[in-house]
Structure 1
Amino acid sequence: MKPISVTLTCLLALAGCQATPDRLPQAEPAPSATCYFPSSSANTQAVLRQSVAVLTEWGFELDSTDTSLGLVSASREKALHGYYDPYDNAYGYGRGMRMFGGFGIGRGSGIGIGLGFGGGLNHQPIEVERVSLLVGDRDVRISRDLRRYDHSGDLRESYSASNDDFCRRFQAVLQQTSTPAGNAP
């Protein structure tokens, strides 16, 4: 038997171990039911203005808006002081420092040595929180996600954060701002 056919047989055997996904990617965890609620006003533009006011009051910066679609997208960043990166010590280089290097000897004459330190100075791990609102004629939908980046700017964690707590607080503040001061209960 030729060596090429053995290698090809091994590659085909390994390729057969690959599994195809049984479902399409989904937001996990699934968005809370409270992130979809009826609009307190029939005027979509008024709800959009109130939503923007709530988000900017909470420290978000507008990324994009499309009033014809009723879409608002905003984000905010915060430094993560003392953030533990679970992957930082994965290869034995130590926490907070990355060291890349190696050496080699080539054919004939030549030696090469490389050494590098990474991480940079004054780079903090950050968390980016993004919120998107879709305001329809009768309802409001909220989508929120969190992304954490390490000190060198690499994405380390990303997950859907459309949870019950955030959506209830947003809905309560939105309803308070839409109620006129004279009609407040």
Structure 2
Amino acid sequence: MKTVSVSISIVCLLVLAGCQSVPARMPQAEPAPSAACYFPASQTAGSHDALTRSITLLEEWGFELETTDTELGLVTASRQRNLIGYYDPYDNAFGYGRNMQVFGGFGLGSRGSSIGLGVGGRVGGHPGHQAVEVERVSLLARGDAIRISRDIRRFDPLGDLRESYNASNDDFCLRFQGAL
């Protein structure tokens, strides 16, 4: 009887192992970066000149430089802004994202009769914390081509990542290319 139960267990384990699946494709940026984010450096009179002008342009647009490597032709910059009134639709699913929270209770004393009642409340989000959006741009100027990559991440007031997406779209890349 013990042999039969071990055999059944092994068969069940093999069946469950066969249910494991391998992804159909490797992860990729969704949506795909725009074709406008890859353009020839000849439009901007050389990659080194384009790199220095790109740094100036990013700083004018309010980005702070994080990394620059002139030998590689790489620039990474980011900017951050507060999201006033940011609402995450998933907050209420767990009960901690509501705008009004009230705590209270009462107790009875063991000696004599005493009753206490306490009510406290808080209106609004988390004091001292703000939801933020971080926008990051990476620019690679090598040889005769320039490539721009941009992503946006949104964090809730607790600092948890709530949204992240590739923002390498026509609008941003064409504005950058025109200003360069």
Shorter-chain TM-score category?
0.7 to 0.9
Q: 1:46/1:79 Cα in 2 relative to 1: closer, same or farther (>3 Å)?
A: same
Q: Number of residue pairs matched?
A: 156
Q: 1:141/1:121 Cα in 2 relative to 1: closer, same or farther (>3 Å)?
A: same
Residue identity in the other structure for 1:143: S
Q: CA deviation at 1:22?
A: 1.0
Larger radius of gyration: 2
Q: CA deviation at 1:153?
A: 0.5
Q: Of 139, 145, 149, which aligns to 2:151?
A: 145
Q: CA deviation at 1:97?
A: 7.9
CA distance in 2, matches of 1:11, 1:25: 29
Instruction: Note the 1:108-127 alignment, pairs <5 A.
Output: 120-127=126-133
Instruction: Note the 1:2-151 alignment, pairs <5 A.
Output: 13-39=15-41, 40-95=43-98, 120-151=126-157
Q: CA deviation at 1:137?
A: 2.3
For residues 50-78 of structure 1, give each alpha carbon's deviation from its aligned partner in whole angstroms, at most 9, with x where no partner exists.
00011000000000011001000000001
Q: Which deviates the most, 159-168 or 135-144?
A: 135-144
For residues 107-163 of structure 1, give each alpha carbon's deviation from its aligned partner in whole angstroms, at most 9, with x where no partner exists.
xxxxxxxxxxxx752111111000000012211100000001111001111110000
Residue identity in the other structure for 1:154: D
Structure 2 contact 34–170 (Cα < 8 Å) conserved: yes
Structure 1 contact 88–96 (Cα < 8 Å) conserved: no
TM-score w.r.t. the length of structure 1 is 0.74
Q: CA deviation at 1:85?
A: 1.1
CA distance in 2, matches of 1:36, 1:167: 8
Q: CA deviation at 1:41?
A: 3.7
Helix, strand or coil: the match of 1:27?
coil
Q: 1:88/1:54 Cα in 2 relative to 1: closer, same or farther (>3 Å)?
A: same
Q: CA deviation at 1:46?
A: 1.2
- Which residue of structure 1 aligns with residue 104 of structure 2? none
Q: Which deviates the most, 153-162 or 3-12?
A: 3-12
Q: CA deviation at 1:42?
A: 4.2
The CA RMSD measured in Å over matched residues stands at 2.8
Residue identity in the other structure for 2:20: Q
Structure 2 contact 83–132 (Cα < 8 Å) conserved: yes
Q: Of 170, 174, 178, which aligns to 2:176?
A: 170
Structure 1 contact 42–138 (Cα < 8 Å) conserved: no
